[in-house]
C-alpha cells in the first residue's frame, strides 16, 4: 500500500478500505474489536493510545547508507530526511514500570519525505510477536483479562508459538536505556528498486551505544520511571543513533506468521539501510497528533499481504487514534 502522498484524511480512508478488504471475514475481529480487547485488559485512558500508552516523543534525522537505494526506490533510501520518533513500553498501561523484563520496548519512526509525504516504521525490542492472528490477539487478551491462570495455561498449551516472545524477553536483561537495545519490525517486507528487482527483508535497528542491560538488582534499584530522564541526560551529551539494517530473506522464508523467525536469522547477511540519529526530546503533542502506521509505506516498500497481523494493525491504530483524538 503506498500512501505517502495522500492527505491525512485520504490516508485514513484508504487504510480503512484496504483493511476491510483484507480482514472482512465474518470470524475476524474488526479494528474496534482489537482496540476493545486492549481496553478490556488495560482500561480506557482518555486521550491516550490503547497500546504502547507510556512513551515519549523525539526528533532527529535518517541518513541512508550508500547501498540502500540499490535495494529500494523509497525516497528516504536516496536522501537524508527528518524523522519524528516515539519510544514506548508495550501494553496499554500509562503507568507501566520501565524496570520489568517481560515487556517489549517500542521504537516508532515517521520519515518526512518532503512535500507532505511521510512513511512509517514501527518496531519492538523482540524479533517475534506473541500471536499469529488478530483473532488470537483478542482471545489472548480476553484470557489474560479473565485472570484465570488455568485458562492462560490452556491458551499457551494450545498455542506454543505464543510463548516465544515471552521466552525471548525473559532471556534478555531489562534495557538500561531505550538507546541500548535492538528493535525489529519483525514482519517480512518486500523492497523494490528502480530496476524492478525485489528483495525480501526484515528490518532491524541496532543501537550504536551497544546492548545496555541491567542486572535484576540494578533494574529494581532504578524504579519504575527512568527511561525518559535517562534519554534526556544522554541527549544532552550527543545524539542517540541506530544502524538500520535489512536482514536478507531467501526463497521459501515464511512471511505470514509474525511469531516465527527465519532459519538462522541472527546469522543471516544484512544490508545497511542507514543511520537513525535522534537529537532531541519533543513535546508529546508532536507524536500524539498522528498515529505511526505499520501500513503507511511508500513505493519501493511493501508489507506482507498474507500476514494477518500486519494487515489488521493499521486500521486498529486508526481506531485508537480517532478515539484518543475524540477524548
Ligand atoms: C493484531 C496485532 C496488533 C494490534 C491490534 C496492535 C494495536 C496497537 C494499537 C491500538 C496501538 C496504538 C496506536 C495509536 O493510538 O496510535 C499500537 C501501538 C504500537 N504497536 Fe501495535 N498492535 C499489534 C501488533 C503489533 C506488532 C506486531 C508490533 C511490532 C512491531 C507492534 C508495535 C507497536 C508499537 C511500537 C506501538 C507504539 C507506536 C507509537 O509509539 O505511537 N504492534 N498497537
pTM for this one?
0.93
What number does the ligand 1 atom closest to the CA of 55 have? 40
Domains in the chain, number:
1
Q: What are phi and psi of 55, to 5 degrees?
A: -175, 180
The answer to the question of residue 304 being in a domain is: yes
Is 1 inside a domain boundary?
A: no
- The answer to the question of residue 40 being in a domain is yes
Cα(208)–Cα(22) distance, integer angstroms: 38
**Per-block mean pLDDT, blocks of 10 residues, the chain (327 long):** 39 42 59 97 97 98 98 98 98 98 98 97 98 98 96 97 97 98 98 98 98 98 98 98 98 97 97 98 98 98 98 98 92
The pLDDT score that the predictor gives to residue 76 is: 98
In a domain, 2, yes or no: no
Q: Could you tell me the residue range of the domain that residue 135 belongs to?
A: 8-326
What's the chain's length in residues?
327
Asked whether residue 290 is assigned to any structural domain, the reply reads yes
Which pLDDT score, from 0 to 100, does residue 63 have? 99
CATH of the domain at 204: 2.40.180.10
Question: Is residue 33 within 8 Å of residue 319, measured between CB atoms?
Answer: no
- Cell numbers describing residue 30: 474488526
CB 255 within 8 A of CB 291: no
Burial class (CB in 10 A: 0-12, 13-18, 19+), 17: exposed
User: Is residue 3 situated within a structural domain?
Assistant: no
Determine how many CB atoms are found less than 10 A away from the CB of residue 157.
Answer: 9
Pocket test residue of 51, 165, 303, 309 for ligand 1, highest count of atoms within 8 A of CB? 51
Query: Is the Cβ–Cβ distance between 109 and 57 less than 8 Å?
Result: no
CB of 135 closer than 6 angstroms to any ligand 1 atom: no
Active-site amino acid positions: 52
Q: Does the residue 16 lie in any domain? A: yes
What integer pLDDT is reported at residue 2 of this predicted model?
39
Assess whether the C-beta atom of 240 lies below 6 angstroms from ligand 1. Answer: no
pLDDT of residue 12: 44
* 48 within 8 A of 287, measured Cβ to Cβ: no
Q: What three-state secondary structure class fits 130?
A: coil
Is 204:266 a contact under the CB 8 Å cutoff?
Answer: no
Contact criterion met (CB below 8 Å) for 107 and 207? no
Amino acid at each position: 500500500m503506498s500512501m505517502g502522498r495522500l492527505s491525512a484524511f485520504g490516508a485514513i480512508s484508504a487504510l480503512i478500505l484496504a483493511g476491510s478488504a483484507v480482514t472482512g471475514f465474518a470470524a475476524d475481529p474488526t479494528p474496534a474489536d482489537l482496540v476493545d480487547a486492549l481496553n478490556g485488559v488495560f482500561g480506557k485512558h482518555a486521550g491516550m493510545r490503547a497500546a504502547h500508552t507510556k512513551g515519549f516523543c523525539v526528533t532527529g534525522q535518517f541518513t541512508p547508507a550508500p547501498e540502500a537505494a540499490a535495494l529500494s526506490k523509497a525516497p528516504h533510501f536516496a536522501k537524508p530526511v527528518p524523522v519524528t520518533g516515539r519510544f514506548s513500553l508495550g501494553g496499554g498501561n500509562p503507568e507501566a514500570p520501565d524496570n520489568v523484563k517481560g515487556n517489549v520496548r517500542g521504537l516508532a519512526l515517521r520519515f518526512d519525505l518532503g512535500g507532505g509525504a511521510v512513511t512509517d516504521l514501527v518496531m519492538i525490542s523482540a524479533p517475534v510477536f506473541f500471536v499469529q492472528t488478530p483473532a488470537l490477539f483478542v482471545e489472548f487478551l480476553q484470557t489474560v483479562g479473565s485472570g484465570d491462570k488455568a485458562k492462560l495455561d490452556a491458551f499457551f498449551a494450545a498455542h506454543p508459538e505464543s510463548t516465544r516472545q515471552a521466552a525471548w524477553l525473559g532471556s534478555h536483561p531489562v534495557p538500561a536505556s531505550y538507546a541500548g537495545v535492538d528493535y525489529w519490525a519483525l514482519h517480512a517486507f518486500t523492497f523494490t528498486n528502480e530496476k524492478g528487482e525485489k528483495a525480501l527483508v526484515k528490518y532491524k535497528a541496532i543501537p550504536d551505544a551497544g546492548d545496555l542491560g541491567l542486572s535484576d538488582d540494578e533494574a529494581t534499584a532504578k524504579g519504575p520511571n527512568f527511561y525518559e530522564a535517562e534519554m534526556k541526560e544522554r541527549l544532552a551529551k550527543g545524539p542517540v543513533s541506530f544502524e538500520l539494517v535489512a536482514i536478507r530473506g531467501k526463497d521459501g522464508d515464511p512471511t505470514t506468521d509474525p511469531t516465527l523467525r527465519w532459519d538462522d536469522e541472527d546469522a543471516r547477511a544484512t544490508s545497511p539501510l542507514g543511520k537513525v540519529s535522534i537529537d532531541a526530546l519533543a513535546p508529546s503533542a508532536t507524536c500524539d497528533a498522528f498515529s505511526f502506521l505499520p501500513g503507511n509505506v511508500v513505493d519501493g516498500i511493501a508489507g506482507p499481504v498474507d500476514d494477518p497481523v500486519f494487515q489488521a494493525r493499521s486500521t486498529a491504530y486508526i481506531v485508537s487514534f480517532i478515539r484518543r483524538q475524540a477524548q
